[in-house]
C-alpha cells in the first residue's frame, strides 16, 4: 500500500469511528459494559495510541534510527500485520501503562473527538511527507507486536481503530439488550 493510500485509510477509518461515537447518546457513550471499557474509554485509548505514533513521526529520523535502529526485513503487508495482531490478541493481551484508558469525565466527548480528528489529520500529513523508502527503513517499538516499520505502524493504526469500533458496537449491543 502506498503512503497516500495509507493516509487515506487512516483518515477514513478514524472518520467512521468519530461518526460512530458522535452518534451515541451520553448514556451510551459513558455506559461501561461489565468488565469492559466504555465508548469514552475506547476513544481515550485510541487518542493515546494515535498521539504516540504522531509524535514518533515528528521526531527527526536520525534520532528514531539512533534510538530504535533500522529495519532488517521487508515490511509486512496490511493483511499480514492485521493477522499478527489478531493472533496476539487471542493470547489475552490487555493494554496497560500509558495506553490504558482512564476514567473520562462527563462532557468530554466533543473535545476528545476533535482532538482525535486533529491528531489523525496531522499523522496523515506526516505520512504523505515521508518517502516510501523511509516507511520501510525506520522502526518503532509496539507494546504487543514488537518492532514495526513505520509502514507497519501505520497499518496497525489504521486497523486498530476498526478493532475498537467493533468493541464499542459490541458494548452498545449489550447495553441495548438490558435497557428497557
User: Are 67 and 60 within 8 A, CB to CB?
Assistant: no
In the chain, the domains with their CATH numbers are: 3-178 (1.20.120.450)
Q: Which pLDDT tens digit goes with each residue over 75-133?
A: 999 999 999 999 998 987 776 677 877 788 888 899 999 999 999 999 999 999 999 99
Between the alpha carbon of residue 22 and those of residues 2, 62, 103, the distances in Å are 30, 39, 19
Question: What is d(CA 167, CA 161) in angstroms, rounded to the nearest whole number?
Answer: 10
Residue 87 CB burial class (10 angstroms; 0-12, 13-18, ≥19): exposed
Banded model confidence at residue 171, pLDDT cuts 50, 70, 90: confident
pTM score of the predicted model: 0.92
Amino acid at each position: 500500500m502506498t503512503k497516500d493510500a495509507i493516509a487515506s485509510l487512516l483518515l477514513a477509518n478514524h472518520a467512521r469511528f468519530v461518526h460512530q461515537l458522535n452518534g451515541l447518546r451520553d448514556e451510551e457513550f459513558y455506559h461501561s459494559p461489565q468488565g469492559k471499557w466504555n465508548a469514552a474509554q475506547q476513544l481515550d485509548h485510541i487518542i493515546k495510541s494515535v498521539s504516540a505514533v504522531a509524535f514518533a513521526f515528528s521526531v527527526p529520523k536520525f534520532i528514531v534510527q539512533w534510538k530504535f535502529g533500522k529495519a532488517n526485513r521487508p515490511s509486512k503487508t496490511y493483511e499480514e500485520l492485521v493477522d499478527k495482531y489478531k493472533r496476539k490478541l487471542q493470547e489475552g493481551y490487555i493494554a496497560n501503562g500509558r495506553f490504558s484508558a482512564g476514567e473520562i469525565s462527563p462532557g468530554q466527548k466533543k473535545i476528545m473527538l476533535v482532538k482525535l480528528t486533529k491528531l489523525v489529520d496531522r499523522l496523515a500529513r506526516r505520512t504523505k511527507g515521508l518517502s516510501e523508502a523511509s516507511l520501510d527503513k525506520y522502526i518503532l517499538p509496539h507494546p504487543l507486536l514488537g518492532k514495526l516499520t513505520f509502514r507497519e505502524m501505520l497499518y496497525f493504526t489504521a486497523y486498530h481503530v476498526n478493532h475498537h469500533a467493533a468493541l464499542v458496537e459490541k458494548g452498545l449491543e449489550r447495553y441495548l439488550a438490558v435497557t428497557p
